Structure 1
Amino acid sequence: MSYVNQSLSNVTTETQYQGLLERLLFSTLTTVPCCVFLFINGTMLFTLRSKPVFCETSRYILLFNLLFADTVQMAVSQLLYVIAACRITLTYPVCGVLDMLGYLTSEISPLTLVVMSLERFVAVCYPLRHAAIITVRNTGGAVTGVWVFSSLNVLTRVLLLLEFPFKDLESLQMKDFCSNMAMLLGQVSADYRKAYTCFLFVLAGVVTISSYIGVMIAARSASTDKASVHKARNTLLLHLVQLGLCLSSTIYSPLLIALSRIVTRIVIVRIQNVFYLCVFIFPRCLSSLIYGLRDQTIRPILMYHLCFRPKRSSPG
């Protein structure tokens, strides 16, 4: 095991000394918000499939893909949290499947944000060609490309895991709780993940910032719709914030490892619970809150579904 896994093992071992009341409190503080956010995200996903306009508009198709990935990742993360809180250890194959599913969806989000940024760039800078370039078919192809690219990355990680000498283990039962860091069983696997993460966020950051600059340049044109430019600029800024939040989840474990060298283990466990809520749970609901409240087409239908209004009062 690497030093990373050894450090996490020390942290998870310390949770054995947590009192039942404290574990119950932390579990409640994370599970309740997660269930609320899952409900909001689920309602938003249902909303985006409730009207033909949402299924035939590129930006709503991309939003659905982003929300779907965020929702799956939040569900997987919470499942792993509950399993750890219940002191349940999994086998390496089961943990690997859950980890790869969460890793796949975590990569979908920044890549989808890249496509969404490009869509806004084309809408502002090439308004006359937007309808020809950003079609439902092309959007579907972009979404498929995002999933294929992310799946190839996951497949590469699986192949790297196969190099680990599982046959030398006494049992496939894990001694630590299942987590993404616990599945980094070799230095090559850890180095690959760091390199890919850096590549992904440099790519996403460059594309989003370039799109923002392009929109700002277009804003100087007298023929440009100023309201459209202003809205696109704010949307791209929100994409940058979302990318930052995605990046924060990648430094979650390294940050905990660094803190474990200067504070006691039980403090690390408590910090870990707070970070989990702020870094993994809340950002996964941010897209629903942002787009659900900002978009004039989505907002009335979303509020209608969230408030459980009678069907006869459904907005047209």
Structure 2
Amino acid sequence: MIEGELHQLNWMSYANESQSNNTVGLQYMGFLELVLFSTVTSVPCCVFLFINGTMLFTLRSKVVFRETSRYVLLFNLLFADTVQMSLGQLLFILNAFRIRLTYPVCGVFTMLAYFTNVIPPLTLVVMSLERYVAVCYPLRHSTIVTIRNTAVAIMVVLGFSSLNILTQVILLLDFKFENLESLTMKENCVRETMRLGSVSDLYDKVYVYFVFVSAGVAILCSYIGVSIAARSASTDKASARKGRNTLLLHMVQLGLSLSSTIHNPLQLVLSKVLDKKIFVRIQIVLYVCVIIFPSCLSSLIYGIRDQTIRPILINNLCCQWRCALSLSVVPAKAKSSMHITS
């Protein structure tokens, strides 16, 4: 019993060191520099959220998108990426300005992060299987890949993610919160902080490895199946080629999703070998490249590559930019006219 509690305390000290290093360099920054670096991360995040939001609106604006399985799956993927990016930026700002949350509030944010983190790789697996059926069984594609079956697949993905959250909550119940002096956290709210025990940490690692290895194997098998079908004389060569390219993109997306899981461990290593002021600048770059950019990549890939989405997406983006500019120009004109009148 005593040995188990000592092990838990050792693990918690490591977790506190890890998450403290996550924003340790921020204490070496003045207020103006802190605002500057927060702006550097917020601007690309807002731009990517604008693009993702426009893409989500585009996918719900036409019947063809709402009744085509791959576009429904794409909407599910983008929605999870958008929530994940918004949540990550919110926590980054809170941690940067040293705003301490309570354990229940941080727990809600952490569980939501766990939930949205698993949805993209599992959705990519379903999208890869859809492309495999489209290329290898084109005559049966319309009967296998239906809106109803797609909805069932999405429910399975959400159920699997919810099961992970339920397990995490059960593991958290073993921690003796009554021994805490206060529910207000003394450290930053990151996922490492809420892993209150060695079992929780081990489960999280095993779960992440299992999900990404399984997703990688499924996408790779789909790619091999499509490549073999591409050599068949009875297969549409153009369709097979597009299918292989799509599956390659899914592999890249899976890799980028996996990169977000090594963000904090990589920061921990860099914080031990770099100067604090240099580390915090590299930390900002890592956050933008590893966390923010991959969450917007799906919109850029499908929005530009898909010939059905591209013209509608560009039109929606242009219209929203014009509306934003017109809203900013009208008040300026109104002020100038009031000044002339007076």
TM-score after normalising by structure 2: 0.88
How far apart are 1:227 and its partner, in Å? 0.7
RMSD: 1.5
Partner residue in 2 for 1:30: 41
Partner residue in 2 for 1:139: 150
Superposed CA deviations along residues 192-228 of structure 1, whole A, max 9, x for unmatched, are 1100011001100000000000000000111111110
Give the 3-state SS of the residue equivalent to 2:23 in structure 1: helix
Contact 1:121 1:215 in 2 (8 A): yes
Aligned residues: 311
How far apart are 1:125 and its partner, in Å? 0.5
Q: Which residue of the other structure, out of 56, 59, 63, is the alignment partner of 2:74?
A: 63
How far apart are 1:59 and its partner, in Å? 0.3
Q: Identity of paired residues, percent?
A: 67
How far apart are 1:11 and its partner, in Å? 5.0
Q: Which residue of the other structure, out of 97, 106, 116, is the alignment partner of 1:105?
A: 116
Q: Which residue of the other structure, out of 188, 194, 215, is the alignment partner of 1:177?
A: 188
Which whole-Å CA distance do the structure 1 matches of 2:13 and 2:206 have between them? 18
Contact 1:2 1:186 in 2 (8 A): no
How far apart are 1:271 and its partner, in Å? 2.2
- Relative to 1, partners in 2 of residues 1:13 and 1:278: Cα closer, same or farther, differing over 3 Å? closer
Superposed CA deviations along residues 114-164 of structure 1, whole A, max 9, x for unmatched, are 000000000000111111100000000000110010011011111111111
In structure 2, list runs of 5 or more residues that go unmatched: 1-11, 324-342
Which whole-Å CA distance do the structure 2 matches of 1:121 and 1:149 have between them? 22
Q: Which residue of the other structure, out of 40, 62, 77, is the alignment partner of 2:88?
A: 77
Contact 1:45 1:67 in 2 (8 A): yes
Bigger Cα displacement from structure 2, 263-272 vs 235-244:
263-272
- Relative to 1, partners in 2 of residues 1:11 and 1:304: Cα closer, same or farther, differing over 3 Å? closer
Bigger Cα displacement from structure 2, 21-30 vs 119-128:
21-30
Amino acid at match of 2:241: H
Q: How does 1:111-126 map to 2 (within 5 A)?
A: 111-126=122-137
| Structure 1 segments (4+ residues) deviating >6 Å | none
Amino acid at match of 1:307: C
Partner residue in 1 for 2:333: none
Contact 1:11 1:268 in 2 (8 A): no
Which whole-Å CA distance do the structure 2 matches of 1:19 and 1:176 have between them? 20
Which whole-Å CA distance do the structure 1 matches of 2:85 and 2:306 have between them? 23
2:293 corresponds to 1:282: yes
Partner residue in 2 for 1:306: 317
Partner residue in 1 for 2:23: 12
TM-score after normalising by structure 1: 0.95
2:257 corresponds to 1:238: no
Which whole-Å CA distance do the structure 1 matches of 2:211 and 2:293 have between them? 22
Which whole-Å CA distance do the structure 1 matches of 2:280 and 2:206 have between them? 28
In structure 1, list runs of 5 or more residues that go unmatched: 312-316
Partner residue in 1 for 2:332: none
Superposed CA deviations along residues 38-90 of structure 1, whole A, max 9, x for unmatched, are 01000000000000000100000000000000000001001111111222010
